[in-house]
Chain A
Amino acid sequence: MSPWISALLVIPLVGAFGVACTPRSKPDLAKELAFVVSLVTFVASIAMAFQYDTGATEQFQLVEDHAWIAQFGVRYKVGVDGAALALILLTTFLTPIVLLASWRQEAKVKTYFALFLVLETGMIGVFAALDLFLFYVFFEAMLVPMYFLIGVYGGERRVYAAVKFFLYTLFAGLLMLVSILGLYFMSRQQAGAIGAAAQGTFDYEKLLNLTMSSGTAKVLFLGFFIAFAVKVPVFPFHTWLPDAHTEAPTGGSVILAAVMLKIGTFGFLRYAIPLFPSAARYFATTMMVLGVIGIIYGSLVAMVQKDVKRLVAYTSVAHLGFIVLGLFAFTMQSGSGGVLYMVNHGLSTGALFLVIGFLYERRHTRLIEEYGGIQSTAPLLAASFLVAGLSSLALPGLNGFVSEFLVLVGTFARHRVLGVVATFGIVLAALYILIAYQRTMTGPITNEANRDLPDLSLREKVVIAPVLVAILALGVYPRPVLDLVAPSVDRMLERVHTREPAPSLAEETGEDKSVQIGEQQ
């Protein structure tokens, strides 16, 4: 039992402490140290991934389990399944990239870089926690560094955006806490009922075995639902997102969109659905409808935004709608597509925010009308925006297509009308991305300020290249991630006991009729 995950949690935290201790007179030292620490974390996470056995039968691997607050049965228990591992890798991959992208940060440098490392620990902790109390601690603790990143380093309306972000997530999290306590209470009661010492537990795997009435399940589900729906965000809980995304500094927007939103959808996959399968089935159609509303609504609102960061923020509402749709359609295809979508959206939207950050550093404005004709002066910058945009609009050959198509395939099998409506999202996606691209990058240069914009610097190329390579690689060969996340989706589907709809013209043998969902061929 090597403490791989503990190492991943400790390295950035210790690094943050080190960064905070660097002398104020040498801001570059803080940057370099933070960057090296994040690279070490990334390398460690890759090494960890090699320890992970995709063929293993148990759900969680690399598990570490220690008593923490024995009095309340709280344990320090961490471990990963395929989905968690994929999201941890996304986190450790993007952290060095956003640190490098923030190199020109000049005010309060030490704090800025230290906060990102603390944030990294928080995010890894959320994905790795296997004890609900520990999960809650990471879930709320993660807010603190992001709150400061937005509130201190953000744009003009940063304080409003930061407070809104904080309050939304905090209050929603408190409702989840009530549900967690409810589970704890029930575990204590049921342990007592079978004569064991009346000790409650927060252990995820043990809580899966609770028995509860469907009414209780629905109430507790709603606690988790609110927390995750705000985090995702699911329509109509999304209004904190455009403000937070827009006001956050570039690095903050990237991490917020790429990783933190996924905590909501990951929460549905890991907690809300498996812990309360009957309630999840009960609310499934509602959730799918909310997902589809998010797709259409987010796309339409994105299309007419004047602020390019706000535009991308609303595209996240649409994309996350696809993920929610995929998770609650309860088929192998839609579920795998949904989880893969979490990774893909992190890459595509992360890349978009990075490129917008490059633009912002040059022109200090987010207004679309201020730009135009950038392709003539900065062709590489424009090309990066286009590739990221094409990934976002799910162009086949790039990563976004695979996940979006899988979600549609699975959804259609479950609910045709919703599948058809969701498919119209692909037209709207083409519109909002190409409108943004056309107005910012093409046409004649109308604003003299754009006349002599420099193209990407070497540092900026190093920042964007790995993300673009990942976008292309996962588009052509998505299999490694699909194979990695399949068992996680499988577990979720087993918990909800739904059968995958069989094709209407089944093979003559009729075997397909009886295929249990999630069966691997």
Chain B
Amino acid sequence: MFLVFSVVIVVFSLLTVTSRRILRAATFLLFVLVSTSGLYFLLRFNFLAAIQLTLYAGGIVVLIIFSILLTSHISEKLAVPPVTKRIYAAIAAIAGAVLCILTILQTQFVQKTLDPARVHIRTIGEGMLSTGKYGYALPFEVISVLLLAAMIGSIILAKKRKD
């Protein structure tokens, strides 16, 4: 099951960055995000997987598709980037990936025995609002202020000017 999800993720993310039609690229991105949420379900983070589905796959992809429809034609194909640029980018990406993967494979990790228990939603809520150790009240407040600021900022930015 893990193999299926990871193959889907890798193939569709490659298609996302190489597809010449921009709307298809957005659809492939949707597949990547949905199979990532499947990985979270496998790891038994059900709440996180639901958040991934609703926020990423439901919210961000729809936002991206809307902006694609606002800014470009559907049938329009993107220009193929020049070969030298593609080669240099591929060299940079592959070199970085090989370096990181070699480092990962040489590292010994101490794996714990897995508990199959699901994360209870009560635990998440109490962790979000507690101020003690392993409590996340301050990041929670900061993120709410950030969301408010982003909301106001994007409304002001996208608003039509009068002049």
Q: Do A and B come from one complex?
A: no
Query: A residues engaging B (CB < 8 A)?
Result: none
